[in-house]
Amino acid sequence: MTTQHLVTFLPENRSVSVRPGTTLLDASRRARVNIRTRCGGVAGCLMCKVNVTKDQGKFLQPPTEAEARKLGSLLDEGVRLSCQARTQGNVAVSIPEDPLKAAIRKKLAEQQEEDEWFR
Ligand code: FES
């Protein structure tokens, strides 16, 4: 019997069981969670970043040489490349908000604030 690792994607709180050593990107696809990529998973585009707390980081294999080179000091801030980071235990990771969605959400909030001010 193969042990499975449970990967949870936040903030959607969607989980999937995967084989040990599965990349977070592959797990996200199985969980039907959208992580944007442009390079096809070869540590080239840096679009697949996820955030991992220090506590959760130990449930991922150490960064590959390519990942370490690409992320540099971001690794110390808990950023990992989902196409490179592989599970070694049950792990929860956060997907940063899409920059375009964040900008739209901010603009809508500002507009709502203005509308309330004029009432
Ligand atoms: S998919 Fe491009 S860096 Fe991970």
The pLDDT score that the predictor gives to residue 28 is 98
CB atoms inside a 10 Å sphere around CB 90: 14
- Give the pLDDT confidence score for residue 1 in this predicted structure: 56
Regions of the chain where pLDDT drops below 70: 1-2
Q: What is the pTM of this model?
A: 0.86
How many whole angstroms from 26 Cα to the centroid of ligand 1?
12
Dihedral angle computed from the Cα positions of residues 16, 42, 95 and 97, in that order, rounded to the nearest 10 degrees: -140
The predicted pLDDT at position 29 comes to: 97
Residues having CB closer than 6 A to ligand 1 are 37-39, 41, 43-48, 81, 83
Ligand 1: which residue has its CA nearest to atom 1? 41
3-state secondary structure of 22: coil
**HSE-CB for 44 with a 13 A CA cutoff:** 6
Beta bridge partners of 87: 60
How far does residue 86's CA lie from ligand 1's centre (Å)? Answer: 13
Q: Which atom of ligand 1 is nearest to the CA of 43?
A: 3
Q: How far is CA 62 from the centre of its chain?
A: 16
The domain covering 5-118 belongs, at the CATH homologous superfamily level, to: Beta-grasp domain (3.10.20.30)
